[in-house]
Chain A
Amino acid sequence: SQTIHQWPATLVQPVGSPLSLECTVEGTSNPNLYWYRQAAGRGLQLLFYSVGIGQISSEVPQNLSASRPQDRQFILSSKKLLLSDSGFYLCAWGTGRTPNEQYFGPGTRLTVT
């Protein structure tokens, strides 16, 4: 069966500090990978998605970036965090074939202070 891991589970970072969140998937190959952010009391916002190694589509222009160095690894980064970057960051994987159901990891709760 497929498993998706995210770490860290929680993170408190000062404004202006860098960020690196990692997501890995087990039990499937060539998945679609997604980064979402959920701000307090708000819906899920798609930040990036990837259909293959090195292929990144950005949905929202901002100070975040994503990379996919390996088939089942997806990384979310920032060089300088803003207060508005606080939120619940969720990685998801999809089959890459229609209808492409998506399955979420446990998430990272980021607080920027």
Chain B
Amino acid sequence: QKEVEQNSGPLSVPEGAIASLNCTYSDRGSQSFFWYRQYSGKSPELIMSIYSNGDKEDGRFTAQLNKASQYVSLLIRDSQPSDSATYLCAVNIRGGYQKVTFGTGTKLQVIP
């Protein structure tokens, strides 16, 4: 089992729809969870952080965390073509906060 798993996609959604991106992790002791957006050829950009069970909203983005199920998700409402990118999930694995482990990312395509 990979430490952080994501479906590689591509996930295709029509413009204006809700995109749902999922991530599972292996370490029950993980405390910090991050979502990054990476446009093709560019570096990752931090878009959301979540540390407690439940939902955290920021504009069109909602991060959801369920520690019991070891699952974190990112919802993008009213998806726009500019949201087309690869979304990376990152989790602090094996305790500590100095390092995080990244998933391989899910490629999102928003169809106009």
Binding site for B on A (CB under 8 A): 32, 42-44, 46, 49, 51, 59, 90, 94, 96-107
Identify which of residues 8-37 in chain B touch chain A, using a CB-to-CB cut-off of 8 Å.
31-32, 34, 36
Task: Using A98-B32, A99-B51, A104-B43 as known contacts, say yes or no to A44 and B88 having CB atoms under 8 A apart.
Answer: yes
Give the complex CA separation of A98 and B45 in angstroms: 19
**Cβ contact within 8 Å between A106 and B92:** no
Once the chains are docked, how many angstroms separate the CA of A97 from the CA of B98?
A: 8
Are B97's CB and A99's CB within 8 A? yes
C-alpha gap A101/B42 in the complex (Å)? 19
A43 in contact with B103 given A99-B49, A101-B49 (CB within 8 Å)? yes
Number of A-B contacts (CB under 8 A): 52
Quick one: CB contact mask for B38-63 with A, threshold 8 Å, 1 for yes? 00001111100101000000000000
**Size of interface on B: residues with Cβ below 8 Å to A:** 23
**Quick one: which of A43, A103, A105 has the most chain B CB within 10 A?**
A43
Q: Is the pair B44, A104 in contact by a Cβ cutoff of 8 Å?
A: yes
Q: Are B44 and A43 in contact (CB-based, < 8 A)?
A: no
Q: Please determine whether A106 and B99 come into contact, CB atoms closer than 8 angstroms.
A: no
Can you list 15 A-B pairs with a CB-CB distance of less than 8 A? Answer: A43-B88, A43-B102, A43-B104, A44-B88, A44-B102, A90-B43, A97-B97, A98-B31, A99-B51, A101-B34, A101-B49, A102-B100, A103-B46, A104-B43, A107-B42
